[in-house]
Amino acid sequence: MRLRNIPGAEEAILNSEYCIKNPEEQKGHWQDCFDKVQPLHIEIGMGKGRFIMDMAALHPDINYIGIERYSSVLLRALQKMELNPLPNIKFICMDAADIAEVFAKDEVDRIYLNFSDPWPKDRHAKRRLTSRQFFARYDQILKKDGHLEFKTDNQDLFTFSLEEVPEAGWKLDASTRDLHHDAVLNEGNVMTEYEEKFSFKGNPICKLIASR
């Protein structure tokens, strides 16, 4: 990823009021980070933050946490927040594999996965954010009536994800391989940077919603 090594990114994150430095210390107490106690939605692999910031602006009655592994990518989101602060959003720089160490049982109401790394080699399948291994992690933090939403333009990854949902013991609530032409699932859709880029090129966008 070309933005990984921006000089000063890690220092900027440490000094930012919008980024939680020791997230494991907030486990079970995430609502303390916000002005109001509200449903908690998280995006894993948020990139530059367009989706989650747009969601936070549209839904002030929901608290959001954006998770990004790479500091130089997260820096872009922090820069946007400096220009347009939102009280109902915080960021974490961390590896998604540690998600259950940061959030407590039933602490999260909804999980968003948008245009995740496909990890195309078979031997890396367990690293995909829609693998059964990651669903097991989500199972530890998501409320019983919570949902997971996943979007991608990668058809192979989407097929894999559809197969993993039942294998993980979850239920597929809805799915489409052409989101922008699906009147039901596209209603209220908020696009990511990648979604806008890929759809402009003519790539159909896939989406699934899963629960337990």
Binding site residues for substrate, as ranges? 121, 153, 192-195
Q: Which of 129, 100, 210 is nearest to 166 (CA)?
A: 210
Contact status, residue 206 vs residue 151, Cβ threshold 8 Å: yes
Residues making up the binding site for S-adenosyl-L-methionine: 43, 68, 95, 117
Structure-block tokens of residue 136: 């097991």
Closest to 87 in 3D by CA, of 140, 50, 34: 34
Q: Edge to edge, what strands does the sheet with 40-44 contain?
A: 89-93, 63-68, 40-44, 108-114, 142-152, 206-211, 171-176
Amino acid identity, position 85: P
| Residues making up the binding site | 43, 68, 95, 117, 121, 153, 192-195
Q: Is 117 a catalytic residue?
A: yes
3-state SS, residue 91: strand
CA distance 49 to 54: 8
Of 117, 145, 156, 178, catalytic: 117
Q: Are 39 and 110 in contact (CB under 8 A)?
A: yes
Tell me which residues are annotated as active site: 117
